[in-house]
Structure 1
Amino acid sequence: MKKMLVVLALAMFSFANAQKGSVLVMGSIGYTSDTRTLGNNEVKNNEFEFSPKVGYQFHQNWTVGGEASFGSSKTKQGTNEERFNTTKLGAFLRYTMPLNQTFAFYAELGAGFQSEKDKTYTGPITTTAKGDGLYVGITPALFIDMKKGFGLNFNIGGLGYNTINYDNNGPEFKSFDFNFGKAFNIGVSKNF
């Protein structure tokens, strides 16, 4: 299982050090699975997320584009089960600052619309909730040029703000995330 997670982490790719006038295509794939015991019940949780991006580098240091994210998670405890499906659609702006021929630092601002659909199965009863909201985030990262346009991208978290308002006078959620050092992502890049 650990090998699969490493492969998925390495499968995250982005084109961070492109030339002016080039198209930038990138994305990430994430999967998490855990099982824990809560009282006498076993709780199983599975999460999957796919996040593609496409952009245009209009200046040597600036890239603008669109981003999306599609996620699903399932938590099961005894006969109870919860399923969440999330969708994000937005735009991003990236500034890249080369440090030398091998290293570059970049910061990315992303913002857009998000929606969530939750289904809860409690025995024979099923409840559904739908909500939508906005997101904004800033992510700093380091790019290492390996050779022939291939490179690695590293980041250790960022800043984010999210809102979700559920339909039919449902709850409203707002969150501010400051997760520097709590997250670690590695990606593989190819510059065309």
Structure 2
Amino acid sequence: MKKLILAAIAVMGFSAANAQDSGSYGFSKGNILLEGNLGFSTNNDKNTDVKTNSFEFNPKAGYFLTDKFALGLDLGIGSDKKKVAGTDADKNSNFNVGVFGRYYFLDLGQRFKTYAEAGVGLNTGKEGEAKYSGVGFGAGLGINYFVSNSFAINFGLTDILAYDTNKYKGGKAVSDFNANLNVFNNFFSTATFGLTYKF
């Protein structure tokens, strides 16, 4: 809920600041898309005396083959640290690189552009001392809100499908599959927030 409220405040603020801006919003064939989502969270559970800090950064770049469809590359960098009182912190890290396709299928007024996106990538990471590598696939929905002709706020709303399989060094593969067929159930519960620039 906090994410949704903060995103709404940001949209209203940018809208007011750019009320005089006019023009055509959206993308055209040949445009280049640059986008980034940055996240940080911290949790301190006084009942269990467990402290957790996590960080994620997901930049991506895409090229529009048509006015509606873009292909591109994305990266994912993440880490988290969990510390229980009196013990050393458990540290986990992950990195992924992949390709994605994005299709804009619905305009909600002039500034809101709704899209579907699917991507596949390679994953590597470390959980404590255990290293792993694997592949992943995901498909989801999102919205861009254009603050100006070239700058937008991005809302990654929900994942419809997600699949990962990772093999740990010296161990067997671990697979995870999730399907959210009822996309309108808790639509904003997994939302991500970022910035989009086109040129």
Decide: shared fold, TM above 0.5: yes
2:98 — aligned with what?
90
Which of the numbers 87, 90, 113 marks the counterpart of 1:104? 113
Which structure's residues are more often strand, by fraction?
1
Amino acid at match of 2:101: L
- Report how many residues are paired: 171
Q: Distance in 1 between matches of 2:122 and 2:37?
A: 19
Alpha-carbon offset, residue 170 of structure 1: 4.8
- TM-score w.r.t. the length of structure 2 is 0.76
TM-score of the aligned structures, taking structure 1 as reference length: 0.78
Distance 1:169 1:189, change over 3 A: closer
TM-align CA RMSD: 2.4
1:48-86 residue CA offsets vs partner (Å, 9 max, x unmatched): 011110111111111001111010110011214211110
Gaps of 5+ in 1: 11-15, 120-127
What is the Cα deviation at residue 180 of structure 1? Answer: 4.2
Give the Cα separation in 2 of the matches to 1:89 and 1:98.
28
Counterpart selection for 2:67 from 60, 67, 80? 60
Question: 1-side partners of 2:176 and 2:145: how far apart?
Answer: 35
1:125 is matched with which residue? none
Deviation by residue 1:100-134 (Cα, 9 ceiling, x = unmatched): 43332101101111011122xxxxxxxx1111111
Match of 2:168 in 1: 166
Which consecutive residues of structure 2, in runs of 5 or more, have no partner in the other structure?
11-24, 181-185
Q: Distance in 1 between matches of 2:150 and 2:171?
A: 51
- The residue number in structure 2 matching 1:23 is 32
Residue aligned with 1:158, SS = strand
Deviation at 1:183, TM superposition (A): 1.1
- The one-letter code sitting in structure 2 at the alignment partner of 1:85 is S
Match of 2:18 in 1: none
Moved more, 28-37 or 91-100: 91-100
Deviation at 1:24, TM superposition (A): 1.2
The residue aligned with 2:183 is: none
1:45 and 2:52 aligned: yes
From the superposition, tell whether residues 166 and 177 of structure 1 become closer, same or farther in structure 2 (CA, over 3 Å): farther
